[in-house]
Amino acid sequence: MNGNGRVHHRTGDDIPDYRHGAPIALKYVKRGYHLLVRHALVLTLAPFAAMGFLELTSMYHNGDLERLWFTARETEVTVSLLVFILSCLLLVSIIATYFAKRSPPVYLLGYHCYKGQPHLKLSKELFMEMTKKKEQQGVFTEESVTFQEKVLHRGGLGDETYIPEGIMSDPVDASMEAARDEAREVLFTCVEETLAKTGIKPQKVDILIVNCSLFNPTPSLSAMIVNKFKMRSNVITYNLAGMGCSAGVISIGLAEQLLQVYPNSTALVVSTENITQNWYFGNEKSMLIPNCLFRVGGAAIVLSNRRRHKKRAKYQLMHVVRTHMGQDDAHYECVYQKQDSNKETGVFLSKDLMKIAGHALKANITTLGPLTLPLSEQLLFFVNLVARKVLSMKVKPYIPDFKLAFEHFCIHTGGRGVIDAIEKQLELTHDMVGPSRETLYRYGNISSSSIWYVLSNIETKKGVKKGERVWQIAFGSGFKCNSAVWKAVNNVDERHVAWLEATDVDKKVK
């Protein structure tokens, strides 16, 4: 999804400032607090039960229980003691049942981000050369060429992004087979590298989820992977389509839910977008923007719910929060695949896209806040909310400090406007959004896989320490804003291939 507000002579400031905008819908606050308090009783009693169990264990080893039993028999309080012991055993049984029935953890064992072939790099100069050639052929008008050049230079992309072979060729090859070739190159490379990195054999994959919005052949992309890697006949497969740039988080959420159902399982999640058949050869400005921002990319991620994998895992998945604004027509239609007046197919982007993204962001973080913010921030926010909503006091909304909840931020690289706006709205530092800007510059808008490129940048250049938290946030058609929260279970400093040859990115990004 593109989020470059400047294309329509707007700026990142046009995203509604959730700090001073319309009142926060109470339903989003309720969602977060409902999730927080759902297990409040168990969380409150668990420490006391644990203390009781440890005390009983200590008394047993020290012989206190045996002496207490003899004393009870001599003083005729045997029944009372028996009731006491049975009560303790019942309490221990309840706690044991809870731990036996609790949801298994979801660990991230490893992932790989696709890096294109050198001959498929698309510099800004080459992009304009190709575009002007299409103008000479009567495909683009002079106005459309000028518009694309403006978007390209304001979009935040560098000169080393990648496009597929079919678009690079002359004449352009947008055939079904060319699109399949692009999918094979990206998907097979990501899966092969990820499985090798994590030591998981293809036949050991229990769940396979693939998301790609705009290219959905038959057989599906998930079937393509099953065939290539000769996976088991009973592997559980899903192929998610049409869900936009936030589908990467949606796939993680689906994998999490499946891993709650299937014990001792391994899930493979693959996120990508296909460019070959989705390059727009028309002259509608609102449909030309994707040409300037979207580029080839993909990522494959291995997840496991086996507790023994914690020692070699990178992260544990803590939360997935999905927000869907599709009940409103303006939100639903703001990113819309359609044909123009000349029957050329492309993706329409509404001029209100930034405003709509702001609404979705506010709804998402209002639900996410109670799950992740420190108790002090939650109390301040709650008191402020009661003062404004219940007591009708004229006080400014209290803005929680999300920097207290997360150490690392992976913002979807929808465009320079999106990154700038989130930096301002969440009051993040330049260093916190730096990895997202570098990813946009080096790889462009790589759709649902972009949050993994940002995380790989952080791991390669900074590293993630054990206990630190990562927030992945993405926007997508529909309209959706989705978040995934991870906690590092070990120190992570992997050097990803995607960033090993891009040491000059820091110098180029302003």
- Main-chain phi, psi angles of 218, to 5 degrees: -120, 125
- The Cα–Cα gap between 147 and 289 comes to 9
Q: Which of 212, 245, 292, 410 is catalytic?
A: 245
- Main-chain phi, psi angles of 138, to 5 degrees: 85, 10
**Nearest partner of 292 among 243, 337, 346, 334, judged by Cα:** 346
What is the CA 61 to chain-centroid distance, rounded?
49
Which DSSP string corresponds to 62-109?
HTHHHHHHHHHHHTT-HHHHHHHHHHHHHHHHHHHHHHHHSPPP-EEE
Q: Which of 239, 445, 457, 482 is catalytic?
A: 445
**Nearest partner of 224 among 256, 272, 266, 265, judged by Cα:** 272
Asked if the bond preceding 435 is cis, omega within 30° of 0, the reply is: no
Q: Which of 8, 319, 412, 496 is catalytic?
A: 412
Asked if the bond preceding 84 is cis, omega within 30° of 0, the reply is: no
- The Cα–Cα gap between 261 and 240 comes to 20
Instruction: Please say if 430 is a catalytic residue.
Output: no
- The Cα–Cα gap between 409 and 143 comes to 38
Sign of the dihedral defined by the CA atoms of residues 70, 73, 77, 80, in that order: positive
Instruction: Please say if 445 is a catalytic residue.
Output: yes
- Main-chain phi, psi angles of 481, to 5 degrees: -130, 120
Q: What angle do CA 6, 7, 13 make, to 5 degrees?
A: 25
Which DSSP string corresponds to 449-485?
GHHHHHHHHHHHHT-B-TT-EEEEEEEETTTEEEEEE
Neighbours of 324 (CB within 10 A): 18
Q: Which of 112, 309, 319, 324 is catalytic?
A: 324
Instruction: Please say if 8 is a catalytic residue.
Output: no
Find the DSSP H helices in 409-449: 416-425, 430-443
Instruction: Please say if 9 is a catalytic residue.
Output: no
Q: Which of 408, 410, 457, 481 is catalytic?
A: 408
Give the three-state DSSP class for 237.
strand
- The Cα–Cα gap between 431 and 408 comes to 10
Q: Are the C-beta atoms of 296 and 163 separated by less than 8 Å? A: yes
Instruction: Please say if 412 is a catalytic residue.
Output: yes
- The Cα–Cα gap between 185 and 193 comes to 12
Catalytic residue annotation: 245, 324, 408, 412, 445
